[in-house]
């Protein structure tokens, strides 16, 4: 029996719970994936309903990615207690260089992130090549609203994992 066929059989034997676990394990590790979703979800999607696989994997991946938010929250607590002694850490303002001819006001990054954060989280979550941790840790440090961040992450990860699952569903014949 082929090793690839055994791997597919065992992975799809876990069912939709396996898709949830694969999504969670694929995105909960910091900066690199130990259990990459772009490999496991297409395999599970080729054997089961790809719509349900994508949704379950997206739920797991969104929650797994959200764990990185709490690394930032922990960092904020460390900064508060030691040397900053305030609840919110400002991201600062960007000042344009002197050679830039127009008179512009400094950009308040914290205001921009509060305004466009949900869209930014969704885009980072829905693209496979971006390390989302770059975004999540600062969001936790600045105290971004948890529910908005979690919903945007889950929706982005569902979109990404639906793409993976349907790739497996329609493209597994090409791999065999």
- For residues 94 and 153, the model is more confident at 153
Quick one: which H or E segment has residue 108? strand 107-108
CB-CB contact of 16 with 48 (8 Å): yes
More confident residue, 87 or 132: 132
**pTM of the entire predicted model:** 0.76
Q: What is the pLDDT of residue 105?
A: 61
CB under 8 Å to 91, separation ≥6 — which residues? 109, 110, 113, 138, 142
- Check residue 47 and give its pLDDT: 84
> Is residue 84 predicted with pLDDT exceeding 50?
no
Compute the chain's Rg from CA coordinates: 20
Higher-confidence residue of 90 and 26: namely 26
Give buried/exposed letters for 57-76 (b at 16+ CB in 10 A, else e). Answer: bbbbbbbbbbbbbeebbeeb
pLDDT at 77: 73
Question: Going by DSSP bridges, is the β-strand pair 93-94/107-108 parallel, antiparallel, or unpaired?
Answer: antiparallel
Say how far residue 120 (Cα) sits from the centre of its chain. Answer: 11
Task: State the average pLDDT for the chain.
Answer: 78
Look up tokens 């790739």; give the residue.
Answer: 167
What does the pLDDT look like over 116-147, one tens digit per residue? 888 888 998 898 876 777 788 888 888 888 89
The distance of Cα 10 from the centroid of its chain, to the nearest Å, equals: 26
Whether the per-residue pLDDT at 171 is higher than 80: the answer is: yes
């Amino acid at each position: 029996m082929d090793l690839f066929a055994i791997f597919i059989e065992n992975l799809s034997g876990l069912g939709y719970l396996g898709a949830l676990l694969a999504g969670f394990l694929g995105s909960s590790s910091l900066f690199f994936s130990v259990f990459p979703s772009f490999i496991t979800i297409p395999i599970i999607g080729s054997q089961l309903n790809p719509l349900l696989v994508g949704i379950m994997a997206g739920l797991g991946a969104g929650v797994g990615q959200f764990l990185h938010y709490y690394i930032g929250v922990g960092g904020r607590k460390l900064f508060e207690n030691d040397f900053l002694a305030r609840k919110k850490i400002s991201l600062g303002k960007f000042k344009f260089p002197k050679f830039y001819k127009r008179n512009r006001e400094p950009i308040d990054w914290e205001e921009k992130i509060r305004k466009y954060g949900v869209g930014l989280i969704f885009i980072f979550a829905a693209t496979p090549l971006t390390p989302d941790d770059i975004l999540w840790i600062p969001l936790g440090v600045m105290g971004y609203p948890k529910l908005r961040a979690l919903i945007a992450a889950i929706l982005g990860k569902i979109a990404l994992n639906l793409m993976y699952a349907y790739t497996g569903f329609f493209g597994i014949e090409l791999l065999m």
